[in-house]
Copies of this chain bind each other. A is one copy, B any other.
Amino acid sequence: MPTTPSDIAAISQAVSDAVTRRPPQQARSRRSQAKVLAAARRLLEEEGYEGLTLQKVSRQSGVSIGSIYGRFTGKDELMHAVQAVVMEELGLAHRSLLDPSRWTGVPLRQLVPQLFDGFADLLRQFAPILRQMMLRATQDAEISRVGTEAYQSFITQAMAVLMQCEGEVRREPRDEALRFALFAAFSIYRNHLGFGSDKGEMPDIEWAALKRQTNDMVISYLLG
C-alpha cells in the first residue's frame, strides 16, 4: 500500500504523541469518540434501531469504520454507550431540578405546577432518544437494566422533594398518594409523547393544556 499524505500526517502525529507522552492523541481520540456518539444518537432518534448502522455512523461522524470497531464491538455496544451519555445528561438535569434546597417551604399548590412541569418538559426534551431506548429495552436486557435503574433513582429523588409537602396532603396514606400522583403524571406524559408506540405526540391535546390539566388533577387528588 502506498504511503499517502494522510498516512504521513498520522505517522508524524503518532511520533509527536509518543514524544509528548500521548495526551494530544487522547484529546483527539476523545473528540472522535464524541463525534461517533453524537452521530449514533442522531441516527437512533431519526431512524430508530433498524436505521442505526456503523456505515452511516462512520459517514456522519467522519470517523473510519475500522476506528469505530476499535472502540465498540458493534451497534449494540454503541447503543449502550449512547444510553450512558443520555442517562448522565438526564440524571444531571433531574438532580438540578430536584435539588431539595430549591423547594424548601414551597407549598403544594405552587410546588406541583413548577416541579411537574419540569418533569414533563425534560421528558419531552429527551423523548426522541428515550422512545428508541424503551423500544429497544424489549430486546436488550442491558438497556432495560440501565433504564430501570435511572427511573428508580429519579423516583427516589422526586419522592424526597414531594415528601416536604406531606403535611399538606389530605389523602391517606399520604406517601402512597404522593407516589401514585407521580406515577399518574408520568403515565400521562409518556402516553402523550407516544412512548412505546408508533405515535408521536397526539394532536388532540396541546402540550401546555396537558400539563395544566395534569397539575389540576394531581392537586385535586392530593387535597381532595
Contact = CB atoms under 8 A, between A and B. Distances in A.
Contacts of A2: none
A153 to B, nearest CB: 15
Contacts of A224: 216, 220, 224
A144 interface: yes
Interface string A15-50: 000000000000000000000000000000000101
The copy count of this chain in the complex is: 2
A7 interface: no
A186 B196 contact: no
A139 to B, nearest CB: 8
Contact of A183 (B186, B188, B195, B196): B188
A134 interface: yes
B217 A184 contact: yes
A191 interface: yes
Of the four ranges (under 10, 10 to 19, 20 to 34, 35 or more), the interface on chain A belongs to 35 or more
Contacts of A96: none
Contact of A198 (B137, B198, B216): B137
B148 A213 contact: no
A190 interface: yes
Interface of A: 48, 50, 134-135, 137-139, 144, 148, 171, 177, 179-181, 183-184, 186-188, 190-192, 195-199, 204-205, 210, 213-214, 216-218, 220-221, 224
14 contacts: A48-B138, A134-B198, A137-B198, A144-B198, A180-B205, A183-B192, A183-B205, A184-B184, A187-B190, A188-B188, A195-B196, A196-B196, A196-B197, A220-B224
